[in-house]
């Protein structure tokens, strides 16, 4: 099992109700892969992270999906069509606010290469890119994110991946600490004995310094005065599951990310773009299908998945904080690492 915050936090198992998947990451959902590209050149402290629902042709075999905007201070691409059609048809890319355009272009070129008829004899493709503002640490005006970085992240995608200050999470900060990419998973057993997995991956860049709750207990931030005093910056939560949920159910599940952020101490501040999306790897259907028959989870069995969504997102943020390394920003600001503060208390 991946080393995570629950490995060191006292009373962790009493805080959460559901068991984790084997690796305790979003990649416990079969077929899901994650990749990073990190850029630390010059004043850049940024990168790209991808979540790939399956290794096939996503344009021809999209996955059902839904999303929730908790606070809309964000510049993501692709959410409008996702709301209308309820499906994801490209890899999901996470990056900084000014990297959305480059990542969008990379996804369009990639889709056209796989399907040359896109935009001609077929409809256009809907690239999905989500962002957080890493400009407190990264020199965001340098526009360091490129199409090549997006493609490299996709090429690097694997069920095993790093967490913390890596990829899109390199320059992110959470509750005044260094913090970026984190992941966790939960197993859900149905009364029939059937079992499914729900995983979460977060791009974490939110929270007011001093407000962090670790398993319900406040954690102070050293040198909090040097950080922005408000709850702003954004967080993206990506859920994956192998349970047969449709777009409407996945939208409902996405909304539960708000409960996880609240448990951590956030109130979704004015300038925080807080967005969650969820997809299912069940019911992969060709866009050329005329009539389809799908399996769908009964509504009465949805509750444990909603609980799993809260627990997985909460632990994912904490795992991202735990794995993050202290990093000096382009203007000399050095964000402390949560691990450096917690370890002396545990010895």
Identify the pLDDT of residue 152: 98
296 within 8 A of 252, measured Cβ to Cβ = no
Burial of 290 (0-12, 13-18, 19+ CB in 10 A): exposed
Would 72 be classed as within a structural domain? yes
237 within 8 A of 253, measured Cβ to Cβ = no
Greatest alpha-carbon span in the chain: 65
- Give the residue among 266, 173, 268, 258 at the shortest CA–CA distance from 211: 266
Q: Phi and psi for 218 in degrees, rounded to 5?
A: -65, 140
**Could you say which of 234, 247, 266, 280 is catalytic?**
234
Look at the block and give the residue holding tokens 């009493």: 14
Mean pLDDT by 10 residues, the chain (347 residues): 64 85 98 98 97 97 97 95 98 98 98 98 97 95 98 98 98 93 98 97 93 88 60 89 98 97 89 94 92 93 98 97 94 91 66
Would 178 be classed as within a structural domain? yes
**Could you say which of 4, 183, 185, 272 is catalytic?**
272
Residues facing residue 34 across a β-bridge: 51, 158
Active site residue 183: no
Q: Per the structure block, which two tokens stand in for 176? A: 């005044």
Identify the pLDDT of residue 228: 63
Identify the pLDDT of residue 6: 76
Q: Phi and psi for 269 in degrees, rounded to 5?
A: -65, 170
Would 135 be classed as within a structural domain? yes
Active site residue 220: no
Domain count of the fold of the chain: 1
- Give the residue among 140, 162, 69, 152 at the shortest CA–CA distance from 106: 152
Q: 76-104: b or e for each residue (b if 16 or more CB lie within 10 Å)?
A: bbbbebbeeebbbbbbbbbbbbbbbebbb
Domain that holds residue 174: 5-338
Would 179 be classed as within a structural domain? yes
Look at the block and give the residue holding tokens 């996405």: 254
Identify the pLDDT of residue 11: 65
Active site residue 4: no
184 within 8 A of 79, measured Cβ to Cβ = no
Would 346 be classed as within a structural domain? no
Secondary element (H or E) of residue 38: strand 33-39
305 within 8 A of 278, measured Cβ to Cβ = no
Q: Per the structure block, which two tokens stand in for 110? A: 């990639």
Would 191 be classed as within a structural domain? yes
Look at the block and give the residue holding tokens 């936090």: 9
**Could you say which of 76, 242, 274, 280 is catalytic?**
274
- CATH code of residue 281: 3.60.70.12
- Going by C-beta distance under 8 Å and a sequence separation of 6 or more, which residues neighbour residue 51? 26, 32, 33, 34, 91, 92, 94, 201, 238, 240
Give the distance, in angstroms, between the CA of residue 66 and the centroid of all CA atoms in the same chain: 14
- Give the residue among 99, 98, 94, 97 at the shortest CA–CA distance from 74: 97
Would 216 be classed as within a structural domain? yes
Identify the pLDDT of residue 261: 96
Would 289 be classed as within a structural domain? yes
């Amino acid at each position: 099992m991946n080393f995570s915050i629950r490995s060191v936090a006292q009373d962790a198992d009493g805080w959460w109700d559901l068991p984790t998947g084997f690796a305790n990451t979003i990649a416990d959902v079969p077929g899901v892969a994650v990749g990073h590209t990190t850029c630390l050149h010059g004043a850049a402290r940024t990168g790209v992270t991808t979540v790939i629902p399956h290794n096939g042709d996503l344009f021809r075999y999209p996955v059902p999906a839904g999303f929730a905007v908790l606070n809309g201070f964000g510049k993501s691409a692709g959410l409008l069509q996702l709301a209308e059609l309820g499906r994801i048809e490209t890899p999901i890319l996470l990056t900084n606010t000014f990297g959305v355009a480059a990542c969008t272009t990379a996804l369009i070129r990639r889709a056209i290469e796989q399907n040359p008829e896109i935009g001609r004899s077929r409809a256009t493709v809907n690239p999905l890119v989500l962002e957080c503002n890493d400009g407190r640490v990264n020199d965001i005006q340098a526009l360091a994110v490129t199409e090549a970085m997006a493609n490299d992240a996709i090429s690097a995608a694997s069920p095993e991946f790093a967490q913390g200050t890596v990829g899109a999470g390199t320059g992110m900060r959470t509750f005044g600490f260094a913090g970026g990419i984190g992941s966790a998973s939960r197993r859900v057993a149905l009364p029939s004995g059937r079992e499914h997995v729900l995983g979460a991956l977060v791009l974490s860049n939110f929270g007011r310094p001093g407000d962090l709750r670790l398993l319900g207990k406040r954690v102070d931030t050293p040198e909090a005065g040097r950080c922005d005093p408000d709850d702003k910056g954004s967080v993206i939560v990506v859920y994956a599951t192998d349970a047969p949920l449709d777009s409407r159910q996945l939208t409902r599940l996405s909304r539960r990310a708000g409960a996880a952020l609240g448990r951590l101490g956030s109130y979704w501040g004015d300038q925080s773009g807080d967005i969650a999306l969820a997809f299912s790897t069940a019911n992969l259907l060709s866009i050329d299908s005329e009539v389809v028959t799908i399996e769908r989870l009964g509504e009465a069995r949805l509750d444990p998945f909603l609980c799993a969504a809260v627990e997985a997102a909460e632990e994912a943020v904490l795992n991202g904080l735990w794995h993050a390394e202290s990093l000096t920003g382009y203007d000399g600001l050095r964000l402390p690492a949560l691990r450096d503060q917690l370890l002396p208390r545990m010895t």
